[in-house]
Amino acid sequence: MTFAHITGWGMSVPETILTNDDLSKMVETSDEWIRDRTGIRERRIVGDGQTTASLAVEASLKALQGANLHPTDIDLIICSTSTPEHIFPATACLVQDSIGATKAGAFDLLAACSGFIYAVNMAAQSIRSGAIQNALVIGSETLSRFVNWKDRSTCILFGDGAGAFVLQASDMPGGVLSAVMHSDGSGGDTLILQGGGSKHPATEATVLEGKHYIEMDGNEVFRFATRVMAQATRETLEMAGIELDDVQWIIPHQANIRIIAAAARGLKMPMERFVVNLDRYGNTSTASIPIATVEAAADGRLKPGDRIVLVGFGAGLTWGALAAEWTGPLPTERKVYPRRYRAWARIRSFLLRITRVIEGLIWGRGS
């Protein structure tokens, strides 16, 4: 029997910090209100030249390094994002080219803030079926590029960042144990970005109407979130055949400390068993769960053998939870340096582009 283990992890956040005090100079708000109503103190914001793909590449290289895998070992790349580099091509393909993952299939997955749970589940299923051996799963967002900085009800919440996991096949029991995924499209308009899609293609009018910004009914999303977090956690644990008492860490989507506290009350679990870092990063959507996981692993909270639950909710509406046994890198003799592949990947990408140009000249375009 094959199991899908989480063997590598990495994160990348921009250096630029936007504090609540900074925000209070942009919109009518205060540090006190934001901390009190959300728990957020500051968030990271991308600078010039940083994009969803560039954050994803950084997080991915760290995850590969941790797992001791070459980019060329990866069979599948799933990039979960709601703020992709472009509508198409997929951001996952840009990552594939950038890290030199020559044999990987690559696609983006959009399930908003629940996306990372969906993506890890998809990768784990592919591994367990025997179809692939190694997968790279990324959650990456640049929400600051889609936020209306004049709307105090949304701009205080979101931040930028990326996290990535490497999943590997092994016959050692453990890894991803179960997952549940849910959706309710009837609530789609409670959290939406309307502009630039096929219903409202970009025009001068859509830009003037502010349709390219995130719109949210905060109270509605809040009620929905507090309802589903505990419920999804229980469902996935039941599927895995694990008791709540056997779980060391719940790693929730980092949207609002009051939502996490409601989940803790619903599960009758102390807040100390929830990994929380939203005070420093805000809501980074699909990147929030992997970033919180990476920090918990880095500071020693997460140990091999620990049982964890990842649980999240988001636009769609979507929600889900995933139970796993934390593994760490699989034993291996080799030491790899995925970053060294980048120069080679750049040359490879350049040569492929040149080849395409030369082929176009030889064969003619459109013939």
From 5, 68, 121, 253, active-site residue: 253
CA separation (Å) from 234 to 15, 226, 305, 306? Answer: 37, 14, 20, 17
Any idea what DSSP says for residue 157? T
From 79, 93, 113, 155, active-site residue: 113
CA dihedral 240, 308, 320, 13 (to 10 degrees): -150
Closest distance of CB 139 from ligand COA, Å: 13
Give the whole-angstrom CA distance, residue 191 versus residue 317: 8
Closest distance of CB 188 from ligand COA, Å: 13
Q: Which residue is nearest to ligand COA (CB)?
A: 218
Long-range contact pairs involving 90-94 (C-beta distance under 8 Å, separation at least 24): 91/52, 91/53, 91/56, 91/140, 92/138, 94/53
CA dihedral 8, 1, 231, 242 (to 10 degrees): -100
Give the whole-angstrom CA distance, residue 142 versus residue 314: 16
Closer Cβ to ligand COA, 81 or 327, answer by number: 81
Give the whole-angstrom CA distance, residue 75 versus residue 77: 7
Closer Cβ to ligand COA, 135 or 255, answer by number: 255
Closest distance of CB 34 from ligand COA, Å: 6
Any idea what DSSP says for residue 306? -
Tokens linked to 191: 């959290």
Catalytic annotation on 79? no
Closest distance of CB 319 from ligand COA, Å: 10
Cβ 270 vs Cβ 346: under 8 Å = no
Residue whose pair of structure tokens reads 């997460």 in the numeric block: 302
Closest distance of CB 102 from ligand COA, Å: 35
Closer Cβ to ligand COA, 36 or 359, answer by number: 36
Catalytic annotation on 253? yes
Closer Cβ to ligand COA, 100 or 282, answer by number: 282
Q: Who's near 323: CB < 8 A, 6+ residues apart? A: 176, 177, 178, 179, 236, 237, 239, 240, 242, 247, 307, 308, 309
Closest distance of CB 335 from ligand COA, Å: 39
Closer Cβ to ligand COA, 219 or 355, answer by number: 219
Closest distance of CB 79 from ligand COA, Å: 18
Closer Cβ to ligand COA, 141 or 306, answer by number: 141
Closer Cβ to ligand COA, 20 or 121, answer by number: 20
Helix, strand, coil share of the chain (percent; to 5):
45, 20, 35
- Beta strands 76-80 and 134-142, pairing class: parallel
Catalytic annotation on 283? yes
Tokens linked to 211: 């349709």
- At 361, is the secondary structure helix, strand, or coil? helix
| Binding residues vs ligand COA (CB under 6 A) | 29, 33, 37-38, 113, 152-153, 156-157, 191, 216, 218-219, 221-222, 225, 255-256, 283, 314
From 20, 68, 121, 283, active-site residue: 283
Active site residues: 113, 253, 283
